[in-house]
C-alpha cells in the first residue's frame, strides 16, 4: 500500500517538475525575445542620435565610462572623478566645437551650439 502511494507521489512530483521546466523554458524564450527587442530599439536610438550625442557617447566609450541606467543615464562616483581630470575636460569640450557634415546631395552643413559649448566649458573648468 505504501509503495503505491510512493509511486503516485513520485509521478505527481515528476509532473510538477515537468511543468516547472516548461514554464522555465517559456520564460527563457520571453527573456530572449525581450533582449532582441531591446537590441533593436537601441539600434534605432543610435541611428537617431545627432552629431553631438554621437561624439559624446564615443568619448565616453574611449574613457571607459558608462552611464548608469538606475540614475537616468547620469555619471556617478569614480566616473565623475575621471571625467573631471583636465585632459578629459578638454576632450569633452572639444565635442561641442562646430561639426561639418556632408549631406547626401554634396552640400555641407555646419552644426554648432555656442551656448551649450560655453555652458559645458564653464561647468567643467
Query: What ranges do the domains of the chain cover?
Result: 1-48, 50-125
Express as a percent the part of the chain with pLDDT over 90. Answer: 26
- Residue range 40-82, pLDDT digits in tens: 988 887 777 777 778 888 888 888 877 766 666 677 777 778 8
Express as a percent the part of the chain with pLDDT over 70. Answer: 82
Kindly give the interhelix angle for 51-62 and 86-95, rounded to the nearest 10 degrees.
160
The answer to whether residue 110 scores a pLDDT higher than 80 is no
User: Structure pTM?
Assistant: 0.48
CA–CA distance, 60 with 49 (Å, rounded to integer):
15
Query: Cell 538606475 sits at which residue?
Result: 70
**What's the mean pLDDT when you consider all of the chain?**
80
Amino acid at each position: 500500500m505504501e509503495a503505491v502511494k510512493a509511486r503516485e507521489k513520485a509521478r505527481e512530483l515528476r509532473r510538477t517538475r515537468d511543468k516547472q521546466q516548461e514554464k522555465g523554458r517559456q520564460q527563457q524564450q520571453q527573456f530572449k525575445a525581450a533582449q532582441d527587442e531591446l537590441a533593436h530599439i537601441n539600434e534605432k536610438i543610435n541611428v537617431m542620435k545627432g552629431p553631438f550625442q554621437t561624439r559624446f557617447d564615443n568619448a565616453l566609450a574611449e574613457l571607459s565610462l558608462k552611464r548608469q541606467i538606475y540614475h537616468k543615464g547620469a555619471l556617478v562616483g569614480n566616473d565623475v572623478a575621471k571625467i573631471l581630470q583636465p585632459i578629459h575636460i578638454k576632450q569633452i569640450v572639444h565635442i561641442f566645437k562646430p561639426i561639418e557634415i556632408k549631406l547626401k546631395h554634396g552640400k555641407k552643413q555646419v552644426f554648432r551650439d555656442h551656448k551649450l559649448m560655453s555652458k559645458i566649458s564653464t561647468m567643467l573648468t
